């Protein structure tokens, strides 16, 4: 390890110490996370200015700063499956306190699907507004290598139909799904198992009422321990965000960003519009959008830096229950379903924009029939696919061939993918929390001590 790397790491550790000292006391988590984000941006920018993009010194430095960032993400992944299992079982066994499971699931999925459809329409409008086209995009070495990799996986995606997707939701081996062996469908497979287990527990308690108290108490104890572990992990969020933001800024190529700046700006405009749409839907449901966004800011910040909807599940559930007053049953269903179904950014905006950009270059007329079919395919393909790592890429790989369009553009945008994916992930997570709040309001289910707090 060179002396420059050692000095860089000393500065990084110094920033962590300062962040720790300044965040003592009763400071809100959102402010702590914001401080971590700013520190990461400043440090990452300083590294890039001092050594240049791709410098060995930066790579060696990031190798060690990533211990903090990747370590934090691993902690979140560690708790996801235990959290889903115990929370979903607890939610189903308490279903009589809220409403029927079918109404909750139907409402959550309905909101996710509707907002995905809206996001697709928004993407069409923004693409037209910015006059985006795929003409003139030239691939380089990285893009060519990416295309080869994407085409190598195309066969797996081509065989993915709505019917096969539904079947894949059912776990063949729940222990394999708990270990991630079911691939992109692991989370939703565990959700299905947990719901069925909870329903079986309800039936068993009706047949043997004498066991109800013991079972309920046992579930409550395990859930309280898991939630305490979630809170412990959440306390590391500012430091994880700082490390993740350092990596993003230090490794971003300014030249690539400038070359494809128009697409980046258009993407962020579409994403911003969808945030406004979410706020409007919350207002219609009677929930104060200002209070909503203030409560979910730490979750959105982590989603932005981590680019992982699944990793946000623990923070998502915690924010909904403690900040927004959403009952645990609804919060767990919306957080887990939102990580695999109807992601507005990855499954809605991104594939729609690519399809509208590519179509004219291959002689396909972008008329009403084309756009209506595109919105329909995007909406259907949003079930399950977006939960995959690199979900936006896989969503595009389903939508583009289904519309008779080439997939090359997916590879051509690789250089700016992380910059857009950060905002897309934040929108995905925001959509799941919006679905939870709207479902709670629609079913008139709430936690009175939290919901009745005045908006700040």
pLDDT value at 384 more than 50 = yes
User: Which two tokens mark 54?
Assistant: 């791709």
pLDDT value at 439 more than 90 = yes
CATH number at residue 189: 1.10.3860.10
What's the whole-number mean pLDDT along residues 128-136? 82
pLDDT over 70 for what percent of the chain? 83
What's the whole-number mean pLDDT along residues 264-284? 95
Q: Which of 50-64, 83-97, 113-127, 326-340 has the highest mean pLDDT?
A: 113-127
Of residues 1 and 17, more confidently modeled:
17
Q: Which positions ≥6 away from 1 have C-beta within 8 Å?
A: 60
Cα(first)–Cα(last) distance of the chain, in Å? 49
Of residues 416 and 176, more confidently modeled:
176
Burial of residue 253, with CB atoms counted within 10 A of its CB: 0-12 exposed, 13-18 middle, 19 or more buried: middle
Q: Which positions ≥6 away from 373 have C-beta within 8 Å?
A: 403
Instruction: For residue 434, give Cα distances in angstroms to 268, 282, 336.
Output: 19, 7, 13
Rounded (5°) CA angle 376-379-382: 145
- Lowest-pLDDT choice from 56-60, 113-117, 394-398: 394-398
Q: 378 and 348 in contact (C-beta within 8 Å)?
A: yes
User: Which two tokens mark 215?
Assistant: 């079972």
In whole angstroms, give the CA distance from residue 175 to residue 158.
Answer: 28
The predicted pLDDT at position 25 comes to 72
Helix ranges restricted to H, 384-453: 391-402, 408-412, 417-442, 448-451
The predicted pLDDT at position 162 comes to 57
Q: Answer yes or no: is 205 within a domain.
A: yes
The predicted pLDDT at position 412 comes to 63
Q: Which of 75-84, 291-300, 391-400 has the highest mean pLDDT?
A: 291-300
The predicted pLDDT at position 100 comes to 65
pLDDT over 90 for what percent of the chain? 30
Nearest-CA neighbor of 351 among 267, 430, 418, 252?
267
pLDDT value at 98 more than 50 = no
The predicted pLDDT at position 258 comes to 65
The predicted pLDDT at position 268 comes to 95
Quote the domain boundaries for residue 122. 3-451
Q: Answer yes or no: is 456 within a domain.
A: no
Q: Answer yes or no: is 9 within a domain.
A: yes
User: Which two tokens mark 322?
Assistant: 């403690």
* Average pLDDT score, the chain: 82
pLDDT value at 251 more than 50 = yes
pLDDT digits (tens, 9 = 90+) for 184-203: 567 778 878 888 898 888 88
- Lowest-pLDDT choice from 17-21, 50-54, 390-394: 390-394
In whole angstroms, give the CA distance from residue 393 to residue 115.
Answer: 20
The predicted pLDDT at position 452 comes to 40
Q: Answer yes or no: is 81 within a domain.
A: yes
The predicted pLDDT at position 95 comes to 62
Burial of residue 3, with CB atoms counted within 10 A of its CB: 0-12 exposed, 13-18 middle, 19 or more buried: exposed
- Lowest-pLDDT choice from 110-119, 276-285, 337-346, 447-456: 447-456
pLDDT digits (tens, 9 = 90+) for 210-242: 888 888 889 889 988 988 888 888 788 889 889
The predicted pLDDT at position 259 comes to 63
pLDDT value at 171 more than 70 = yes
Q: Which positions ≥6 away from 186 have C-beta within 8 Å?
A: 177, 178, 179, 180
Number of separate domains in the chain: 1
Q: Answer yes or no: is 84 within a domain.
A: yes
Q: Which of 25-39, 93-107, 142-156, 379-393 has the highest mean pLDDT?
A: 25-39
Sign, CA torsion 304/239/87/449 = negative
The predicted pLDDT at position 31 comes to 80
pLDDT value at 456 more than 50 = no
DSSP 8-state symbol, 143: H
What's the whole-number mean pLDDT along residues 385-389? 52
In whole angstroms, give the CA distance from residue 194 to residue 362.
Answer: 46
The predicted pLDDT at position 93 comes to 77
Neighbours of 369 (CB within 10 A): 9
In this structure, what are the phi and psi dihedrals at residue 324, rounded to the nearest 5 degrees? -110, -5
User: Which two tokens mark 50?
Assistant: 């001092």
This prediction has a pTM of 0.73
Q: 85 and 314 in contact (C-beta within 8 Å)?
A: no
Instruction: Grade residue 454 by pLDDT with cuts at 50, 70 and 90.
Output: very low
Instruction: Grade residue 282 by pLDDT with cuts at 50, 70 and 90.
Output: very high
Q: Buried b / exposed e across 162-193, counting CB within 10 Å, b at 16+?
A: eeebeebbebeebeebbeeebebbbbbbbbbb
In whole angstroms, give the CA distance from residue 310 to residue 436.
Answer: 16
Instruction: Grade residue 128 by pLDDT with cuts at 50, 70 and 90.
Output: very high
């Amino acid at each position: 390890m060179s002396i420059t790397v050692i000095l860089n790491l000393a500065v990084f550790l110094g920033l962590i110490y300062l962040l720790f000292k300044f965040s003592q006391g009763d400071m809100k988590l959102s402010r702590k996370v914001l401080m971590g984000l700013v520190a990461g941006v400043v440090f990452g920018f300083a590294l890039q200015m001092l050594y240049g993009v791709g410098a060995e010194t930066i790579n060696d430095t990031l190798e060690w700063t990533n211990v903090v960032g990747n370590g934090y993400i691993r902690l979140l992944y560690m708790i996801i499956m235990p959290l889903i299992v115990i929370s979903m079982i607890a939610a189903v066994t308490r279903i009589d306190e809220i409403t029927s499971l079918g109404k909750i699931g139907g409402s959550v999925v309905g909101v996710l699907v509707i907002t995905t459809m809206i996001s697709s329409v928004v993407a069409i409008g923004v693409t037209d507004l910015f006059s985006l086209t795929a003409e003139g995009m030239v691939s380089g070495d990285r893009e060519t290598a990416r295309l080869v990799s994407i085409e190598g996986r195309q066969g797996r995606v081509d065989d993915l139909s709505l019917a096969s997707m539904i079947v894949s939701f059912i776990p063949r081996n729940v222990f394999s799904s708990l270990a991630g062996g079911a691939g992109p469908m692991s989370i939703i497979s565990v959700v299905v198992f947990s719901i069925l287990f909870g329903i079986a527990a309800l039936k068993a308690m009706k047949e043997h009422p004498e066991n109800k108290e013991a079972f309920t108490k046992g579930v409550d104890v395990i859930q309280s321990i898991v939630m305490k572990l979630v809170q412990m992990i959440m306390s590391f969020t500012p430091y994880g965000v700082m490390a993740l933001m350092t990596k993003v800024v230090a490794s971003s190529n300014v030249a690539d960003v400038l070359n494809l700046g128009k697409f980046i700006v258009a993407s962020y405009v579409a994403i911003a519009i969808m945030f406004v749409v979410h706020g409007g839907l919350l207002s219609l449901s009677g929930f104060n959008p200002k209070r909503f966004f203030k409560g979910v800011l730490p979750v959105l910040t982590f989603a932005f830096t981590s680019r992982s909807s699944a990793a946000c599940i623990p923070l998502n559930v915690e924010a909904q229950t403690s900040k927004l007053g959403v009952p645990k049953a609804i919060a767990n269903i919306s957080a887990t379903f939102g990580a695999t179904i109807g992601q507005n950014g990855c499954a809605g905006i991104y594939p729609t924009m690519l399809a509208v950009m590519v179509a004219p270059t291959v002689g396909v007329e972008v008329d009403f029939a084309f756009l209506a079919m595109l919105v329909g395919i995007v909406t259907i393909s949003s079930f399950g696919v977006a939960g995959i790592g690199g979900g936006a890429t896989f969503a595009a790989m389903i939508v583009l061939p289904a519309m008779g369009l080439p997939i090359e553009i997916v590879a051509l945008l690789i250089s700016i993918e992380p910059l857009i994916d950060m905002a897309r992930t934040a929108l995905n997570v925001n959509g799941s929390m919006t679905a939870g709040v709207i479902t709670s309001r629609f079913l008139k289910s709430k936690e009175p001590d939290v919901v009745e707090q005045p908006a700040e």
